[in-house]
């Protein structure tokens, strides 16, 4: 099992923060990410087995280090509003002059800032 300080852990599907895997009274696993508002409950026997295998893979395949590396490369923080977001094609900002990549637009509707690509955050 993926253990962090002796606790089974699984990443939040939205923010990738490590979350403690809790168990219901009926021994079914679930995770809750309060900042994101995500609640993931695994109900069926085959789903529970698959979820437990994912937890095992997280530890064996060093998922936490890989997620940290991905977040460092592909998750940006807006310098103006502080919003954290994953890069995606729809947020690309290019130069009108030569088409070169300038960065990624902050997805917050009221912000409009551009986060430069490759700049230390």
CA distances from 17 to 1, 11, 69, 108, 117 (A): 17, 5, 13, 21, 23
Domain boundaries in the chain?
3-61, 76-116
The residues pairing with 30 across neighbouring beta strands, listed in sequence order, are 22, 41
Instruction: Find out whether 20 and 9 touch, Cβ atoms under 8 Å.
Output: yes
Sheet containing strand 114-116, edge to edge, reads: 92-94, 101-105, 114-116
Predicted confidence (pLDDT) per residue in 29-74, tens digit? 999 999 999 999 999 999 999 998 888 877 677 777 888 888 888 8
Model pTM greater than 0.75? no
């Amino acid at each position: 099992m993926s253990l962090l300080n002796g606790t089974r852990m699984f990443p939040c599907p939205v923010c990738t923060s490590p979350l403690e895997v809790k168990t219901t009274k009926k021994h079914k696993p679930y995770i809750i990410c309060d900042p994101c508002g995500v609640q993931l409950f695994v109900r069926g026997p085959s789903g529970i087995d698959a979820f437990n295998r994912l937890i095992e893979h997280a530890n064996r395949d060093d998922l936490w280090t890989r997620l940290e590396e991905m977040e460092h490369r592909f998750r940006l923080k807006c310098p103006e509003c502080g919003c954290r977001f994953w890069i995606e094609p729809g947020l690309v900002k290019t130069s009108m002059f030569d088409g070169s990549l300038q960065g990624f637009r902050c997805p917050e509707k009221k912000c409009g800032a551009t986060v430069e690509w490759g700049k230390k955050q």
